Each structure stands twice: as structure tokens, then as C-alpha cells.
Amino acid sequence: MSGGSRKKIAAVSMVRNDQFFIQKWIDYYGRELGHENLYLFLDGHDQSLPEGHEAINVIMIPGQRLSRSRGDKNRIDLISNFSRALFLRYDLIIAHDIDEVLVVDPDQQLSLADYLQRPVRHASLSALGLDVGQNLELEKPIDPSRPFLEQRSFAHVSARYTKAVVATRPLRWGSGFHRVRHRNFHIDPNLFLFHFGMVDYAISQQKLEDQSLLNAGWRGHLDRRYELFDLVTKKSPVDGDTFFRQARRRESLFRPLFALNKPGMLPEKPVIRIPERFRSIV
């Protein structure tokens, strides 16, 4: 980036058999970064083009029947290699799964693109992971035409989603963007990664009926993910703003011994009430 010029930022993701989250991803990042800076891989020539695809960069690639673990590795290697090439034209790359959204704290009073103009010393930035789930006793089925966070008030603060999703230089992510290979992570104090994979119980049920996912070994993963509904429904939430700083500190300090470049899980599985200022963002 030349002195004084504005950083160019791209967003990259990959998807198969999903129309629900694609539109949220396109609308949000199109607004934040400009549609021309979005790069979406469609995994398989049998995939339908999403609504609004004309405004973004869609790359359709041949599908492969792979196990869950091999598929995860294949996807992350593809995106890492593609992002490396994008750095010939861009200064920052945002990359994550299609059911996740990177948000800057509204208290900063800056758009995501404006916030990321500041100097960054690290190869990547991580965002505090908030796993949003439906409280089955208090919340109705999701209306996709409205912001998700207008309709969902609770999230599990999860190190699993505290991902290094902002790259400032070419790097190699580990599977699922959970780490950067051979590098440390740095949790930004004002970035949040909202995971919406379990934002609605009925929509999540459809995954359990997807025979292609079950054949690829996703059953155990999906069963574990379903625990989120029970967690956010039954556990008493704490105020998010009183817990966020503590969560970042603990995730940074208490790391798994088998992977010191991953944030540490919080054993009490904390559930927070999402602050009101996030309601209209996504």
C-alpha cells in the first residue's frame, strides 16, 4: 500500500448446498466492503448461483466427495492459496465460513472497512467468537428478511469461533480458520465473529436430514453443535460487556497444550446477553 492511500480489503468464503447464509454474507460484506471485493467459491458445478451474484466474484469449482476432515483441509488450502494471490491486488483479506460475520463494535462508530484502516503489526487479527443460538423458550423462528441480531439475544462465548479471520499478509490457515499455521494469534479488542450456524432450530434440522453430510462423517459434529440450543435456553446469561474483556484475556492466556496457537476454551461455557447496540448490524 502506498503512503497515505486507503487499504483495499477483500472478503472470501466458500459454500455448498446453502442459500440461507449466502444472502446475508453478500448483503453484509457488499455494504461494508463493496460487492466488487467479494469472492465466493461455489463447491460443485451442481450449485445454483445466488441472488445478486452478478455484483460479486463467483468462482465455481468441481465438487469432490471427501470426508469431513479431508474436505475441511481441502477447502482451507484452496482459500489460503487463493488469498495469497489476492494479496497482489489487496492489502487485507477477510476469510471465514459462510455462516459467520465479522463485526466491529458499534461503540467505535466506524464501519468495518474504516476500522481496518488503522496500522496492524500482526500477520492476522482474531475476533472474539460469539456462537449465536435460538433460545427455544423465548425466541421465535428466524425471519431471514430482518437482521438476525434483532431476533436473537444470546450467544455462547466460544474460543472455537475466536478465529484469525483477518489476514494482513499471505499466510496458511489451519482447518476451519481456527488457527494460522506456525504463527501466534492476536485477539482484537473491538472485533467480534458472530457464528450463526445454529441461529434457528428448524433450519439446523435440515442439516441432520442431508444425507451427503451424514455420509461424509458430519453426524458427530452436528450432534455436538445441537448442544448450543440447550445451553442458551437453560443457562442464565451474563452481561456481554462485563465479560468480553475477561474472555479475551482468558482465551489468550489459557491455551490448549496440543495447539498453543489456538485460543483456550472457557470451561464454564459462558452464555452472554448480546448488547443492544449490535441489534441492527447483521
Whether the pTM exceeds 0.85: the reply is: yes
Q: Which grid cell sits at 163?
A: 478465529
- Does the pLDDT value for residue 174 go beyond 80? yes
DSSP state of 130: E
Q: Which grid cell sits at 215?
A: 455420509
Q: What percent of the chain has pLDDT over 90?
A: 81
* Alpha-carbon gap, residue 87 to 82, rounded angstroms: 9
Q: What is the pLDDT of residues 23-51, one digit of tens each?
A: 999 999 999 999 999 999 999 999 999 98
The domain locations on the chain are 9-278
Highest mean pLDDT among 14-28, 52-66, 86-100: 86-100
DSSP state of 267: T
The CA-atom distances, in angstroms, between 34 and each of 91, 111, 169 are 15, 12, 21
Q: Cβ contacts of residue 78 below 8 Å, gap of 6+?
A: 14, 41, 61
* Alpha-carbon gap, residue 104 to 144, rounded angstroms: 22
DSSP state of 173: B
Q: Contact at 8 Å (CB) between 16 and 34? A: no
Q: Please, where are the H alpha helices in 87-116?
A: 112-115
Question: For residue 63, what pLDDT is reported?
Answer: 86
- Does the pLDDT value for residue 153 go beyond 90? yes
Question: For residue 221, what pLDDT is reported?
Answer: 57
3-state secondary structure at position 215: helix
Q: What is the pLDDT of residues 116-149, one digit of tens each?
A: 999 999 999 999 999 999 999 999 999 999 999 9
Burial tier of 85 (Cβ tally within 10 Å: 0-12, 13-18, 19+):
exposed
Question: For residue 259, what pLDDT is reported?
Answer: 87
Q: Contact at 8 Å (CB) between 100 and 195? A: yes
Ordered DSSP codes for 24-64: HHHHHHHHHH-GGGEEEEEESTTPPPPTTGGGSEEEEE---
- Does the pLDDT value for residue 7 go beyond 60? yes
Q: Contact at 8 Å (CB) between 195 and 121? A: no
CA dihedral 197, 123, 247, 110 (to 10 degrees): -80
- Does the pLDDT value for residue 279 go beyond 60? yes
Q: What is the pLDDT of residues 177-197, one digit of tens each?
A: 999 998 999 999 999 999 999
- Does the pLDDT value for residue 219 go beyond 70? no
Q: How many CB atoms lie within 10 A of CB 17?
A: 15
* Average pLDDT score over residue span 262-275: 96
* Alpha-carbon gap, residue 198 to 148, rounded angstroms: 11
Question: For residue 2, what pLDDT is reported?
Answer: 46
Q: What is the pLDDT of residues 239-262, one digit of tens each?
A: 999 999 999 999 999 998 888 999
The CA-atom distances, in angstroms, between 55 and each of 27, 31, 36, 91, 209 are 11, 12, 6, 21, 32
Radius of gyration of the chain (CA): 18
